[in-house]
Structure 1
Amino acid sequence: MPKILLTLAALLLPLGLSAQDLTLLSVTDSATGQDYSVKLQILLLMTVLSLIPGIVLMMTSFTRIIIVLAILRQALGLAQSPPNRILIGIALMLSLLIMKPVWQDIYQNAFKPYQAETLSLEQAIARAEQPVRQFMLAQIRENELHQVLKIANEPTTRAAADLTFDVLLPAFVLSELTTAFQIGFMLFIPFLIIDLVVASVLMSMGMMMLSPLIISLPFKLMIFVLADGWSMVAGTLAASFGAAP
């Protein structure tokens, strides 16, 4: 019975809307370009809100930060500490700080003019795209960009200004993965040396049944805290994006 009612409602809804002469989605031409109806703007806004998690992951500094933090936790030998939620929260806060100039540029040059109705929606989106594009281009590596252009069957000599987002985005993500693993490797080396030293000492003492992780973990935590490791990691990540550590 509920399925029948839903089917009848879906069939009668277009008839009711046409009878009342309601236009849900409309686009009108204006002096500044094209204006969208309020309902269409709400629909677009809800669509963008549903894509925000993907946008944060793919177009900001979040990817590099969360990967480095995850590698750091593994290098320390801690399985669940800090928890995933804490790492995600730290990555989000650092991403907000690192991306602050980009957000301010978007707010001043795109959102405020659009709110004041001096720019249309299309013009505001075009202006908001520029600082994001500049940030992504500054982080993209040449090898990754060439590889993405080859996959897209596009010439590898294209200028940066001519790159579309369908090429720019995967190149940026691949570059972020490469940089994150490089930073993670550099963080892993000191802890690996501690593990090797502890394992060698235990073997020389004949204590082969004792796990080296039990002995090395306190030393790694002590050295990391004494070296102010969290501040150093945050500063290194900020400096890797060109921000002041």
Structure 2
Amino acid sequence: MERPARATSYRSPIQSRRNLMRKLRLAPYLLVLLTVATPAFSQSFDLGGLPALTTEQNLDGEVTYSLSLQVLALMTAVTLLPSLVLGMTSFTRIIIVLSILRQALGTQQTPPNQVLIAIALFLSLFIMQPTLTEIYNVALSPFLSESMSAEVAISEASAVMKDFMVANTRSDTLLMFSDMAGADGYESNADIPFSTLLPSFITSELKTAFQIGFLLFLPFLVIDMVIASILMALGMMMLSPMLVSLPFKLLLFVLVDGWALTVGSLAATFVAT
């Protein structure tokens, strides 16, 4: 007598995806187990020149494994990278001015946020290129060639960044934060701590960005007022002045080559070191 065939179990795509995620979560543990079980591994597992997994042998012959603090410091630096881009470069001033310009034009979400961030990012890269090149020459290149220690390379790179930030920071703002920190004065830019220079630089960038945004807003505000007065004189009070003034603002912006003028003026406002 023949046995009835077993019913094949059906796995939905969601269940298959969950099983795959469970297997991926086990990957780090399998790596550690392979490291422990394989005697062919050396005393340290290197990751890009940094000892990611180090081994220590106790007095009783037992081998223990531990993650290096250098990897932890590297991952912490990666998480702080967006904050460094916002607080130590020209990105803040550029993105604020572009956002105010979009509001002055009255185009709502055109250009979208992704486009504005891309413009601000690449324009910041253009402005910061001399500073980044100097950091590479005086700090990164000697460190990669092992002719300079990491501590000295960080000190040299910090000095270059401080020169750029001090050159683009208002003196009254820097003096205000220095007085709040209880410092009498600094002999050179390298003596200014980042705890004082960073808030001074960001505050100065915000003030400068809003001043530039105010100057950009004025001509578009005049167009809105003129259109609103004409519509009120014609008795068209139910018609939105913003809707009528938008084509004229776009026409004015295109005729004066507004994007090139705005971006070029923004780049010229920064002082190169």
Asked whether the equivalents of residues 72 and 184 of structure 1 are also in contact (C-alpha less than 8 Å), the reply is yes
Q: Which runs of 4+ in 1 moved over 4 A?
A: 21-24
Please give the per-residue CA displacement for 1:84-138, whole angstroms capped at 9, x wherever unaligned.
Answer: 1111111000000000001111111111110100001101101111221111000
Tell me what 2:256 maps to: 227
CA RMSD of aligned residues (A): 2.2
CA distance in 2, matches of 1:144, 1:22: 50
Return 5+ residue gaps in structure 2 as ranges: 1-28, 30-54
- Larger RCO, structure (CA 8 Å, separation 6 or more): 1
- The verdict on how the C-alpha distance between 1:213 and 1:231 changes in structure 2, with shifts beyond 3 A counting, is same
1:22 is displaced (CA, Å) by 4.8
Greater Rg, structure 1 or structure 2?
2
Q: Does 1:135 align with 2:164?
A: yes
Partner of 1:4: none
Q: 2:265 aligns with which of 232, 236, 244?
A: 236
Deviations 1:28-78 (A, max 9, x none): xxxxxxxxxxx3333222211111100000000000000000000000012
Letter in 2 for 1:76: L
| Contact 2:104/2:220, CA 8 A, preserved across alignment | yes
Distance across 2 between alignment mates of 1:114 and 1:40: 19
Task: Answer yes or no: is 1:158 the counterpart of 2:186.
Answer: yes
Q: Is the 8 A contact 2:106 2:242 kept in 1?
A: yes
Shift of 1:153: 2.8
Which structure features the higher share of helix residues? 1
| Per-residue CA distance 1:161-203 (angstroms, 9 max, x = gap) | 3211100000000000011001101100110110111111111
Q: 2:121 aligns with which of 92, 96, 106?
A: 92
Q: Work out whether residues 137 and 160 of structure 1, in 8 Å CA contact, stay in contact via their aligned partners in 2.
A: no
CA contact (8 A) 1:62 1:95 kept: yes
Structure 2: distance between partners of 1:152 and 1:234:
36
1:53 alignment partner, SS class: helix
Amino acid corresponding to residue 68 of structure 1 in structure 2: V
| 2:49 corresponds to 1:20 | no
Q: Taking structure 1 as the reference length, what is the TM-score of the superposition? A: 0.83
Q: Could you report, residue by residue, the CA deviation over 1:4-37 in whole angstroms, capped at 9, with x for unpaired residues?
A: xxxxx9xxxxxx966415565xxxxxxxxxxxxx
Matches within 5 A, 1:175-214: 175-214=204-243
Match of 2:173 in 1: 144
Counterpart CA distance in 2 for 1:72 and 1:99 is 23
Q: C-alpha separation between the residues in 1 aligned to 2:206 and 2:269?
A: 13
C-alpha distance in structure 1 between counterparts of 2:128 and 2:267, whole Å = 10
Mapped to 2, the partners of 1:187 and 1:210 lie a distance apart of 26
Distance, in Å, in 2 between the alignment partners of 1:134 and 1:86 is 30
The CA distance in 2 between the partners of 1:242 and 1:198, in whole Å, is 39
Query: Are residues 1:61 and 2:61 paired?
Result: no
Query: 1:110 touches 1:125 (CA, 8 Å); kept in 2?
Result: yes
Contact 2:164 2:271 in 1 (8 A): no
How high is the sequence identity, in percent, across the aligned residues?
Answer: 53
Shift of 1:147: 1.8
